[in-house]
Structure 1
């Protein structure tokens, strides 16, 4: 299968590192014009420099905006050109016991993980409908279906994304615009690497070994028995954004390594 997205413009939110950056790179390598987003000009500039090295032929740009509030979403949408592909990757997570997490914790997760996608989809999808083609992807999590006891607020926000994506897919049915969710499991992203940096230095173990131990301890149902790479997650997203994926809409597509123990 050869995916060619030349002539299409893609926005990937929170794409200065981790899964978001891998998605932006994957889309750029298919020929799409890619707009990356981060919270600061410096993070966007650094990511653009890295991305230009990985995809020197691509047309790239970046917009700094914090999508954790309506103002930031407005700054981003006001600066955008016409967008054909929207990847709602912006998200936060924080360990907090249910009985200790306050309203601010819940509100922060809701605004970033859910409302950022609501606001951007509301602003950008109407033009996709007019053109008769578009792709919207929400980056959810296996935690949407396997809600973690130590991050109930996070799990709830990720489950809400599935409802949002499914409902929006129904709203745009038959239009040529598809809406899907992708659910990563444990992934060797920048955040996970940072979490193990001190242990790696202390133990001398490789990052891959430490993350595998983490997966087998905390996600023992994993069928691949390791963390996924960011590129493995990005591969699924790039496909869902492609012209070849036109019969897939309203789906929750797992890249969780089989962590969620069911057949659906």
Structure 2
């Protein structure tokens, strides 16, 4: 299968690193005109340069804005009024004792992980429907279907993304716009790597040891017995953005290495 997105435009939120950057790179390699987003111009510029290192002819640009706020969302929409593909990847996570998570932190997680995607989908999906073609994705998590006790607030926001994704797919029935969710398992993104690196330093272990112990202790049901790479997640996102995925909407795709013990 040859995925060709040369006539399509895409926005990937939270794409200066990790899964978002891998998705932006994959879409650019498939020929799409991609907009990278991040909170600072310096980070956006670095990400654009990183994509061009592996895809010198990439059609790529960037917008610096804090999409966890209404002002940031408005800034992106003003700079890029329409797109064919919207990947709502922006997200934050932090292990935290449930009893120490106050109202403000719950609100912050919802603003960044849920409302940012709602806000952008409300604008961009309407234009997609009017044009008769579009792809909307929410990068959720396996934590959406098995809430992690070490960060309940994160899991709840990821579950909310699934509800938004399915509901929006219902709203857009028959328009030519598909809406799907991607559920990565534990993935070795820059943020996760940094997190494990700190643990390794504090415990006098190698990072590889910490990663293995995490899988054994916290995700023992993993069938691949390792963390995923960002490219493994991006590959699914790129497929869902393509014409070849035209028959798939309202669905949730697990890229979790078999962590969730489900048959659906």
1:1-264 residue pairs with structure 2 within 5 A? 1-198=1-198, 200=200, 203=204, 205=206, 207-264=207-264
Which secondary structure state, in structure 2, belongs to the residue aligned with residue 262 of structure 1?
coil
In structure 2, distance between residues paired with 1:251 and 1:75: 30
After superposing the two structures, state which structure 1 stretch, 147-156 or 171-180, moved more: 147-156
C-alpha separation in 2, matches of 1:31 and 1:81: 20
What are the Cα deviations for residues 187-240 of structure 1, in whole angstroms up to 9, with x where unaligned?
Answer: 0100111112245567563x4453233112210000111000000000000001
The alignment partner of 2:63 has SS state of strand
Relative to structure 2, which stretch is displaced further, 48-57 or 136-145? 48-57
Deviation at 1:153?
1.0
Query: Where does structure 1 lack aligned partners over 5 or more consecutive residues?
Result: none
Distance (whole Å) between structure 2 residues aligned to residue 72 and residue 224 of structure 1: 38
Does the 8 Å contact 1:67/1:116 carry over to 2?
Answer: yes
The normalised TM-score by structure 2 is 0.96
Runs (4+) of structure 1 exceeding 3 A deviation are: 198-205, 207-210
What are the ranges of 5 or more consecutive residues in structure 2 without an aligned counterpart? Answer: none
Take 2:244 and 2:67, find their aligned partners in 1: how far apart are those partners?
A: 30
Aligned mates of 1:160, 1:64 — CA distance in 2:
26
Q: Residues of 1 paired with 2:47 and 2:129: CA distance?
A: 31
